[in-house]
Structure 1
C-alpha cells in the first residue's frame, strides 16, 4: 500500500472563510505529532473568496480514515459544520515522490 493524498475544497458560508481557515489550521496543528499525517496544507485563492482548499498526504488511506475518528478531529468537524456551505473532493492521488515527501 502506498501513500495517500487528497485535495479538497470546502466552501464557507458568506463571510466565514477566515473562520474556516482558522479551524482548519487548528486541525493542521493537532496533526503535528501524528506520524501518519505527512502534509496538511490549508490554502485560499484570491479568486474564490469563500473557499478553502486542503491538501493532505498520509502514509496510507487507512491512516487518513482513522484520523477522522480522533477526538480532536471530531471536535473540529463539529465546530466547522455550521459555517460550511459545501464540500468537494477535487481529487484523490497516489504520491510517488518529490520535495516535501
Structure 2
C-alpha cells in the first residue's frame, strides 16, 4: 500500500536554503529503494523551515531506506543544518480522485 511521510524540518537560522539545495540534488537511489515522489518546499512565513512530502511504495520501503548507506550518509551530512524542530504526519494512501486504479 502506498505510504506518505510528510513533515517539516526546522533549520538553524539562515541554513534553510542550503538544506533545500542538498535535499533536491538528484538521487536515483531513492527510486531504487521504492520512493515514488520526494517534494521539497519552503514558505516565506516560516524562514527556518523546510517542508518535505515523500511518497513511497510502502511503509516498509520507507523504513528500509533509512538503513541504506547512501541515505544514512545524506542524513548525517544534513544534521548540522537542522535545529531539532520536526513536525509532520504519516499515512497509508486510501486512494485519489486523480486516478481510478488501485493504489
**TM-score, structure 1 normalization:** 0.85
Helix, strand or coil at the partner of 1:92: strand
Match of residue 89 from structure 2: 91
Deviation at 1:86, TM superposition (A): 2.0
Q: After the TM superposition, which segments of 4 or more aligned residues of structure 1 sit over 3 Å from their partners? A: 30-33, 98-101
The equivalent of 1:5 in structure 2 is 4
Deviation at residue 89 of structure 1 after TM alignment = 3.6
2:50 alignment partner in structure 1: 52
Any unmatched runs of 5+ in structure 2?
A: none
Q: Higher strand fraction: Structure 1 or Structure 2? A: 1
Q: CA RMSD in A?
A: 2.1
Q: Which runs of 5+ in 1 are unaligned?
A: none
1:57-96 correspondence runs (5 A): 57-95=55-93, 96=95
**Number of equivalent positions:** 99
After TM superposition, the score normalised by the length of structure 2 is: 0.83
Compare CA radii of gyration and give the structure with the larger one.
2
The within-5 A match list for 1:4-43 is: 4-26=3-25, 29-31=27-29, 33-34=31-32, 36-43=34-41
